[in-house]
Amino acid sequence: MDNKKQLQLLTQQIKDCTRCDLYRSASHSVAGEGNPNAKIVFIGEAPGRREDLLGRPFVGHAGKYLDLLLEKTGLSRQDIFITNMVKHRPPENRDPLPNEIAACNVWLEKQLSAISPKIIVTLGKWSLSYYLPTKKISEIHGQPFKQGNVVVMPMYHPAAALRNSNLARELENDFVKNKELLQNPDTATQISSSLERDGQESLF
């Protein structure tokens, strides 16, 4: 089964998922979308109100901002795959709970296994904590590190940057600083394993 068919099957399975209670209050599941053969996967936190209504990731104000950031590096949505840690919107846009993230991890792992990206860009603290639970995004944003066969690139979440001009400036600088790597993900193997994953096993 090719990548596209695997992702389509996962999308249907996520649509029917009842592993946590988030599906009860959500309008739609938001599995993710993009290039099934992408070498770069962006992982956010959770769907927001507009994402919940449309069933698509990053289509609100934060998504438009992300599109602009991608343009700064010469990328577009067609080049990447984008998803979230949890696939249903938490009520009132609250943070996802640890048990909700744990319940949804199986879908993220299967998506990443199907795509086999070279680079994973974590957007915000929740996706970063999946790889480095003891690290703060404020300390390591914009610093790519190798984890197994993939390079993880921590970034601030666009929604947080929209609320804070200082974070926005840093986020834009991080995209520009990593432009060459994002444009040439096959060179990701040259990144050193400069950060440890606190004893956790890699996805790959």
Q: Which residues contact 109 (CB under 8 A, 6 or more apart)?
A: 203
Give the integer Cα–Cα distance in Å for 191 and 150.
10
Mean pLDDT for the stretch of residues 156-171: 97
What 8-state DSSP symbol labels residue 186?
G
Q: Which residue ranges form the domains of the chain, and what is each CATH number?
A: 3-120+172-183 (3.40.470.10)
pLDDT value of position 198: 44
Average pLDDT, whole number, for the chain? 93
pLDDT value of position 49: 96
At position 170, the amino acid (one-letter code) is E
Give the integer Cα–Cα distance in Å for 75 and 15.
29
Name the band, by pLDDT with cuts 50, 70 and 90, for residue 190: confident
Mean pLDDT for the stretch of residues 52-61: 97
Name the band, by pLDDT with cuts 50, 70 and 90, for residue 80: very high
pLDDT value of position 72: 92
Mean pLDDT for the stretch of residues 118-136: 95
Closest Cα to residue 26, out of 119, 110, 111, 92? 92
